[in-house]
Structure 1
């Protein structure tokens, strides 16, 4: 049994910022992540962030992890957390061969999210990918997923990946969206539109065409009740169908530990109940990033700082509320505007309206 001050589970944008903040306050911190490098979704994001200097404006996502100070943090890559128990013990497996037990004084769970899928005929054909898989192939492994792509979903991820496909020389025949409006930021949709890629709202995919692999896709228009309009089908000749239809929080450890959970559609599914300091219903367990509700990487990084500061206050008994209030102001700014309306509704449902 190894006793430490703080354990951070997940090395994405929220986790690295939480770990850095805790170490900055003089705590012994372990940061564990199942991947071979830190950054989570950042390692796939070649586009430059925007906003303010505080939110790494002008910095490419792939470069952000190197800018976060983790020199005082013990980093365990290729490490999974198998269990989170009522006595405060966490079971870790390192590189699939070494089991250890860790008992921290507190933990930040920043396990992120996983892609949702979409049921349609032929969705198991080779050539049907999630947007995250496409980003991994292109931006991490340098492999093109195909030559002609149909993108399903006009949120930020769908729009960003569409533009990255175009930059790599892949033809994007269209971006379709079931809702009546584009869900992503204008800055992303404008790039796609300027490339003459049609963005079709109120549309859905009916089926993938092909026997052994994707050879085409059939889409159709939806009415206001989300029903397929008669005689509205269109067929595209494509070899790749990319799905960007949302994310769901990876919350297994929180369920196991007995944290109070509630279903909030606007936040992506089941999320932990927590206060504005990101503390769950279980003492000294905090959350940050997509596990607490699907949001942008910039917000995840700020939440990581909030959770780190709040946990440090619990452990050390010192007051860091001025720094937390500054982080709250940053979150409020990130959550303004029409595109964050659903997010604000979700936060209000779980009682987090101070931010």
Structure 2
């Protein structure tokens, strides 16, 4: 059985970032992903990123993915695609299977970057053909160049909802409406303004009551809600649509972290249950790190920097590279993460992260109020 300095599971921006940093420090690195191509969500993102030069401002997501892939290949990262990890054992043995066979290997350290899954929404008619997650619609349109429908109803006004709505609009679909149960658009205004300028109705305090259609979606019944999110009688109306896209949040994919024995905590701002970790992405399980949406739902830029931070800390722990150089890069990575967690949206995530770090034993001036799970126990902290 082969032993690697690091086994990285998940080849999205977080996993690529971690694998690149360890490999550049001289470590043998295996990067595993269940999909047929690396890059995760980046290859579905055709919009230009904004922010700083360090966060690839002005570069489209799929272009960032291509750059990271080239960087990983140049660093001699061993990349295995179409490979699913199904077991991680206490000695950090990883068991995986591809299309042909199962194999096992060991990592001196393991970095979990398994991402997140999209949340579902249950309502009468939600199983009709034509009801799908926004991520599924984005995959169909941007990767396979197939329009999922001609008349789209988008449920949810977060970044995923408004970005995918605009991309479907660009692809030739008609966006009948973007609806949200809250009283404000929850995505960045820079994205929301694009669909508003295109004349797309954005209906707040509005949700879907049911989807209707014979053998597939033909439309939906919407209704207004009050300030306690209760339906307001008599406010129902019909809207025609052949596709209903659900953009109602993400949940960290916790399965591999759980079977690895990583203690977890609940934090609603970061998406629910997630592994407890330090600011350098170390879990409470020795030799296991987390990064990206698994460590809390944020953005692709944050996932990439978290991956780099995890990789740099792992390289230091393994005694790779030059300590002073790695520590300087680690500090820079943490500073970039702090800069991403500023402003009205970012500050909440920063405070939520500080709660998680406190649970991991790091000092924080913010009180932690959460549920911890791990080792068969559950307790309030």
TM-score between the two structures when normalised by the length of structure 2: 0.90
Give the whole-Å Cα distance in 2 for the aligned partners of 1:216 and 1:334: 39
How far the C-alpha of 1:350 sits from its partner, in A, is 1.6
Matched, 1:78 2:88: no
Matched, 1:239 2:242: yes
What secondary structure sits across from 1:259 in the alignment? Answer: coil
Deviations along 1:158-216, whole A, 9 cap, x unmatched? 00000001101100011011112111111100001000111112111110011210011
Q: Which residue of 2 aligns with 1:3?
A: 3
Give the whole-Å Cα distance in 1 for the aligned partners of 2:344 and 2:250: 20
What secondary structure sits across from 1:181 in the alignment? Answer: coil
Q: Which residue of 2 aligns with 1:104?
A: 107
**Paired residues for 1:5-154 under 5 Å:** 5-68=5-68, 69-71=71-73, 72-94=76-98, 96-154=99-157
How far the C-alpha of 1:349 sits from its partner, in A, is 2.8
Give the whole-Å Cα distance in 2 for the aligned partners of 1:345 and 1:67: 32
Deviations along 1:274-303, whole A, 9 cap, x unmatched? 111110010110000000110100000000
Q: Which residue of 1 aligns with 2:185?
A: 182
Q: How many residues are matched?
A: 353
- Structure 1 gap segments, 5+ residues each: none
Deviations along 1:56-105, whole A, 9 cap, x unmatched? 111111111221201210000111111011121110112x2221111110
How far the C-alpha of 1:116 sits from its partner, in A, is 0.4
Residues 8, 15 of structure 2: 8 Å contact kept:
yes
Q: Which residue of 2 aligns with 1:224?
A: 227
Give the whole-Å Cα distance in 2 for the aligned partners of 1:173 and 1:235: 11
Picking from 163, 168, 172, the partner of 2:171 is 168
Residues 129, 243 of structure 1: 8 Å contact kept:
yes
Residues 266, 345 of structure 1: 8 Å contact kept:
no
Q: Which residue of 2 aligns with 1:351?
A: 357
Residues 183, 339 of structure 1: 8 Å contact kept:
no
- Structure 2 gap segments, 5+ residues each: 359-363, 366-381
Q: Which residue of 2 aligns with 1:296?
A: 299
How far the C-alpha of 1:344 sits from its partner, in A, is 2.9
Give the whole-Å Cα distance in 2 for the aligned partners of 1:282 and 1:345: 23
Picking from 328, 338, 341, the partner of 1:335 is 341
TM-score between the two structures when normalised by the length of structure 1: 0.97
**Paired residues for 1:255-334 under 5 Å:** 255-316=258-319, 318-319=323-324, 320-334=326-340
Q: Indicate the larger mover: 263-272 or 290-299.
A: 263-272
Q: Which residue of 1 aligns with 2:214?
A: 211
